[in-house]
C-alpha cells in the first residue's frame, strides 16, 4: 500500500457554551490540524492533532506534515508504521529543530493516519487489530461540566445532569482558580450534590507551586478526590516527587509530556500515580503504546488525556490492559463520521474499520474554508 499524496486539513470545532477555561487556558474552539494520507490502493487514512485552534500555529503543523515530513513519506509502504515513525522522527534536519513541540504534533497526526490505513486495509477497528475482543469495559469520566469559568451553580447542575441523566460515575472538576478557598467550595458543592459513590477528579493544569499544592491537596482530601491532576509545572519531576511524599491524594499527569523518557523518569522517581499519555502530543499511537507498556510493567494505570476527543484513545483503551478509564469531552462529536459513544458511563466499542478519526460530511464541507 504505497503512499501517493498528503492532503492537509484543519478543523476548528466550537467548544461547549462558546468558551471554556481551566487555570491556564481559555478557548472558544478545539483545533484539529491533520492530514488525509492517500494511497495507490484507494484507501485514505485520517489523522489529527489537538490544539487550541490558533490558526497560524495550526498552519505550521499542517505545513510540517506536508512540507517537512511529506516528501519522506511519498512512495513508502503505509503499513510500515514503526519504521516510518523512526525514519520521520530521526530525520536529521527535522530532529535538529524539533524533538518535541510542533514537529511532534505533526508526526502524531501522520502516525494516526498510517494506523488508520492499516486498519482499513484489514477491514477492522483499531482495537481489534491491537488484540482486543471488544468486550472489555472502558469507563468514561466526563470533563465537560467542570470548567473553571462555569459558575458554581452551573458546575453543580452539569455534574448532576451527567450523573443522573447520562449515567456517568465519574466527573472531573477544574481547580487552580485565583482563590484556593473558592476551589474548595466548588469541590465541596459537587461532592455534596453527587453523594459519596461518584468519583471526582480534580485538575489544576499546572498552576500551583509546591507549597500551594501541598496545602490545597491536603484540604481536598476530605472530599475523597480520585486524583489531583497536573498540580505543578508540567515537567517538574522533583517537585511532583516532593508533593507525592507529602499528600495522600494520588497524582495524575502526562498530557503535556512529549517523550517516552519523560514518562520513564516520572515513574522511576515515584512522582506519578496515574499516567495520562496523549497520542497527539506523544507523536502517535506507535509511541503511546510504548508508554502504556512501560506503565503496565510498573503497575501504574494509564488514563489517557484526549487531545483526539477519545476518537482513537477509546480503541487503545479497549486494547491495552493498563487502561480501564478514559476521559470524555464531546467537542468533535459533530465533526467525526463515527463519534465516540458512551452508554451508562461506559464507552461503546466502535465497529467501523479504522483508527477512529474519519471526518464527517460536515467536517469535509468545512475543510480549508478557514
Cβ nearer to ligand 0YR, comparing 236 with 255: 255
Name the closest residue to Mg ion (Cβ).
Answer: 203
**What does 249 bind: ligand 0YR, Mg ion, none (CB cut-off 5 to 8 Å by kind)?**
none
Q: Cell digits for 298?
A: 510498573
**Minimum distance between the CB of residue 277 and Mg ion, rounded to whole angstroms?**
12
Of residues 144, 203, 287, 327, which one binds Mg ion by CB under 5 A?
203
Q: How far apart are CA 110 and CA 114, in angstroms?
A: 6
Given the complex with ligand 0YR, which of 230 and 287 has the nearer CB atom?
230
Reply yes or no on whether 174 is catalytic: yes
**Residue 278 Cβ, how far from ligand 0YR at the closest point, in Å?**
8
Residue count (the chain): 370
- Region of 31-39, 179-187, 199-207, 308-316 interacting with Mg ion (CB under 5 A): 199-207
- The one segment of 37-45, 111-119, 203-211, 266-274 that binds Mg ion by CB under 5 A: 203-211
* Cα 186 to Cα 156, 169, 170, 239, distances in angstroms: 8, 18, 16, 26
CB of 83 to ligand 0YR, least distance (A): 31
Instruction: Say which of 12, 43, 128, 305 is annotated catalytic.
Output: 305
Calculate the alpha carbon distances from 211 to 208, 240, 247 in Å.
8, 11, 11
| Spatial distance between the Cα atoms of 311 and 307, rounded to a whole number of angstroms | 9
Write out the three cell numbers for 52: 487550541
Is the Cα torsion angle 16, 274, 301, 79 positive or negative in sign?
positive
Phi, psi dihedral angles at 218 (to 5 degrees): -65, -40
Binding-site partner at residue 287 among Mg ion, ligand 0YR, none, CB < 5 to 8 Å by type: none
- Comparing CB distances to Mg ion, the nearer of 206 and 359 is 206
CA-closest candidate to residue 240, choices 202, 209, 205: 209
160 burial via Cβ count (<10 Å: 0-12, 13-18, 19+): middle
Cβ of 224: how many Cβ atoms within 10 Å?
Answer: 12
Residue 45 C-beta: closest distance to ligand 0YR, Å: 25
Q: Quick check: is 192 catalytic?
A: no
Q: Say if strands 199-203 and 225-229 run parallel, antiparallel, or are unpaired.
A: parallel
When the beta carbons of 229 and 287 are compared against Mg ion, the nearer one is 229
Which listed residue (38, 120, 172, 174) is catalytic? 174
Grid coordinates of 53: 485552534
CB distance 295 to 288 below 8 Å:
no
In whole angstroms, the minimum distance from the beta carbon of 147 to ligand 0YR comes to 8
* Cα(72)–Cα(74) distance, integer angstroms: 6
Give the residue at shortest CB distance from ligand 0YR. Answer: 22
CB of 329: closest distance to ligand 0YR in angstroms? 7
> Which of 129/329 has CB closer to Mg ion?
329
Please identify, using beta-carbon distances, which residue of 66 and 199 lies nearer to ligand 0YR. 199
* d(C-alpha 329, C-alpha 174), whole Å: 14
Per CB under 5 A, 158 contacts Mg ion: no
273 sits near Mg ion (criterion: CB under 5 A): no
Q: How far is the CB of 206 from ligand 0YR (least distance, A)?
A: 9
278 contacts Mg ion (rule: CB under 5 A): no
Q: Compare residues 158 and 229 and give the one whose CB is closer to Mg ion.
A: 229
Choose the contact partner of 51 out of ligand 0YR, Mg ion, none; CB within 5 to 8 A by kind.
Answer: none
CA count, 13 A, side-chain hemisphere, 293: 8
DSSP characters for 32-47? EEEEEEEETTS-EEEE
Give the relative orientation of helices 81-89 and 102-122 as an angle to the nearest 10 degrees. Answer: 170
Q: Which residues bind ligand 0YR (CB under 6 A)?
A: 22, 25, 27, 143, 203, 205, 255, 305
143 is in the binding site of which of Mg ion, ligand 0YR, none (Cβ under 5 to 8 A by kind)? ligand 0YR
Q: Which three cell numbers stand for residue 81?
A: 508504521
Residues catalogued as catalytic: 174, 305
Provide the binding-site residues for Mg ion, judged by CB under 5 A.
203, 229
Amino acid at each position: 500500500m504505497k503512499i501517493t499524496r498528503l492532503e492537509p486539513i484543519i478543523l476548528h470545532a466550537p467548544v461547549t457554551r462558546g468558551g471554556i477555561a481551566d487555570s491556564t487556558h481559555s478557548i472558544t474552539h478545539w483545533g484539529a490540524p491533520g492530514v488525509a494520507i492517500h494511497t495507490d490502493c484507494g484507501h485514505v487514512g485520517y489523522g489529527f492533532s489537538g490544539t487550541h485552534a490558533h490558526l497560524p500555529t495550526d498552519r505550521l503543523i499542517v505545513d510540517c506534515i506536508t512540507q517537512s515530513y511529506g516528501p519522506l513519506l511519498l512512495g513508502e509502504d503505509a503499513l510500515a508504521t514503526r519504521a516510518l515513525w523512526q525514519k520521520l522522527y530521526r530525520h536529521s534536519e527535522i530532529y535538529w529543530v524539533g524533538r518535541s513541540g510542533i514537529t511532534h504534533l505533526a508526526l502524531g497526526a501522520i502516525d494516526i493516519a498510517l494506523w488508520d490505513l492499516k486498519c482499513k486495509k484489514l477491514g477492522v477497528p483499531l482495537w481489534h487489530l491491537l488484540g482486543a475482543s471488544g468486550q472489555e469495559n472502558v469507563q468514561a469520566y466526563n470533563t465537560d461540566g467542570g470548567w473553571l469559568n462555569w459558575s458554581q451553580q452551573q458546575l453543580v447542575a452539569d455534574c448532576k445532569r451527567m450523573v443522573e441523566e447520562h449515567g456517568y460515575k465519574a466527573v472531573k472538576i477544574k481547580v487552580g482558580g485565583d482563590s484556593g478557598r473558592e476551589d474548595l467550595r466548588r469541590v465541596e458543592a459537587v461532592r455534596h450534590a453527587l453523594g459519596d459513590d461518584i468519583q471526582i477528579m480534580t485538575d489544576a493544569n499546572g498552576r500551583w507551586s509546591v507549597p500551594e499544592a501541598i496545602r490545597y491537596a491536603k484540604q481536598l482530601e476530605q472530599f475523597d478526590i480520585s486524583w489531583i491532576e497536573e498540580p505543578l509545572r508540567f515537567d517538574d519531576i522533583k517537585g511532583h516527587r516532593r508533593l507525592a511524599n507529602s499528600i495522600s491524594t494520588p497524582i495524575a499527569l502526562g498530557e503535556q509530556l512529549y517523550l517516552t523518557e519523560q514518562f520513564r523518569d516520572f515513574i522511576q522517581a515515584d512522582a506519578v500515580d496515574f499516567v495520562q499519555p496523549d497520542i497527539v502530543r506523544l507523536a502517535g499511537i506507535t509511541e503511546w503504546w510504548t508508554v502504556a507498556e512501560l506503565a503496565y510493567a510498573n503497575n501504574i494505570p494509564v488514563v489517557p488525556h484526549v487531545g483526539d476527543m477519545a476518537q482513537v484513545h477509546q480503541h487503545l483503551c479497549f486494547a491495552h490492559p493498563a487502561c480501564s478509564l478514559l476521559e470524555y469531552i464531546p467537542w468533535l462529536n459533530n465533526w467525526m463520521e463515527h463519534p465516540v459513544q458512551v452508554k451508562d458511563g461506559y464507552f461503546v466499542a466502535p465497529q467501523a474499520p479504522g483508527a477512529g478519526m474519519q471526518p464527517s460530511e460536515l467536517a469535509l464541507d468545512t475543510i480549508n474554508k478557514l
